[in-house]
Amino acid sequence: MKILIAIGGIDFSKPTLNMGMEIASAFEASSTIAYVGKKISQFSEKDVSVVHQSLDNRQLYRPGIRTLEWACNFLETKGYIDSNSSANFDDHLLIDEDNSRMKVLLKSKNSDNIDLILRTGEIIDQLRDEVFSNGHDITVVGGGKNKGIYHDLIEFIHSSILVVKNFSFNKKYKILLPINNTKGSKKATEMAIRLAQHYKTEIHIVYVKDKKEKDVVKSIETTSNQLSKLKIKNETFFLEGDPVKSITKFAKDDYIISLGVSNKNPIKNFFFGSKPISISKQCNCPVLLVK
């Protein structure tokens, strides 16, 4: 499994990086930490590239390198990267892989499972390209104020998406598993199990009553039995009303939500939205949107 963790400024990327690495550890996945720099106008893109090369030569470093250095130090303190005590981040190599992508190679710090990447351009475009080229299974992003980005993240990036919102390091989270009769729900259950095993926590299954859906009770029972067999403590809650509002209200900031995304018509989603998009926009806790 491969996980892509997108980080931005140092001030607000700590929860994203921390949770992303925990998920990578839970899934025994390799991870790519990517800093996406600002989009450059085509008029100036070569000029900017030349200036950034000059900055590297003078050890002043292009934007993003210091953020990756911070990420690297963070991973080192958490034990994800082995390092030589005398090692310095200044001993890095930048490998220009074209297509706005650069790989940072550290000469004396290493981990076979972690890549540091510098990208430049429009964020959705860059993450989409990264996932497409390298086959990442989960993309981890911070839940910023820009609500408009959620649709594009879910619709255009072909991996599961973990939106890290309001994540607290020391808090004991439970897993919330909204369920219905879709394939997405089954995949979300698999992810929820791995999260629950990693965090050693319980899973709360929720179902929002819908007249159109039949045999859901059977699915819920099957899921609950599956969890019990795995010795994961679980409980089921039946909610009523608007699914988005009910789930958001129920979750508060106490859960990590594992939510399946079904294969609906993207054109419909674009014009009318979808429940996963609305839940990820409105809730106040981390949401894993499973595809």
Residues 6+ apart with CB under 8 A from 124: 149, 152, 153, 156, 157
- What x/- string results for residues 156 through 185 when contact with other proteins is judged by CB under 8 A? x-x---------------------------
Among 32, 152, 277, 278, binds other proteins (CB under 8 A): 152
- Considering beta carbons, is residue 238 or 270 the nearer one to other proteins? 270
User: What is d(CA 44, CA 222) in angstroms, rounded to the nearest whole number?
Assistant: 58
User: What is d(CA 127, CA 124) in angstroms, rounded to the nearest whole number?
Assistant: 5
Applying CB under 8 A, the span of 20-28, 136-144, 200-208, 257-265 interacting with other proteins comes to 257-265
Q: Per rule CB under 8 A, is residue 125 in the interface with other proteins?
A: yes
Single-letter code of the amino acid located at 73: N
Among 1, 15, 25, 55, binds other proteins (CB under 8 A): 55
Token pair in block for residue 129: 């390209």
Structural contact between residues 165 and 287, judged by C-beta atoms closer than 8 angstroms: yes
Q: Per rule CB under 8 A, is residue 137 in the interface with other proteins?
A: no
Q: Per rule CB under 8 A, is residue 230 in the interface with other proteins?
A: no
Q: Per rule CB under 8 A, is residue 88 in the interface with other proteins?
A: no
Q: Per rule CB under 8 A, is residue 41 in the interface with other proteins?
A: yes
Q: Per rule CB under 8 A, is residue 267 in the interface with other proteins?
A: yes
Applying CB under 8 A, the span of 38-46, 73-81, 133-141, 226-234 interacting with other proteins comes to 38-46
E runs forming strands in the chain: 2-7, 30-37, 82-83, 92-96, 101-106, 109-110, 114-120, 138-142, 160-164, 174-178, 203-208, 234-239, 255-260, 287-290
User: What is d(CA 169, CA 179) in angstroms, rounded to the nearest whole number?
Assistant: 27
Which positions touch other proteins (CB under 8 A)?
37-38, 40-52, 54-55, 57-60, 63-64, 125, 128, 152, 155-156, 158, 263-267, 270
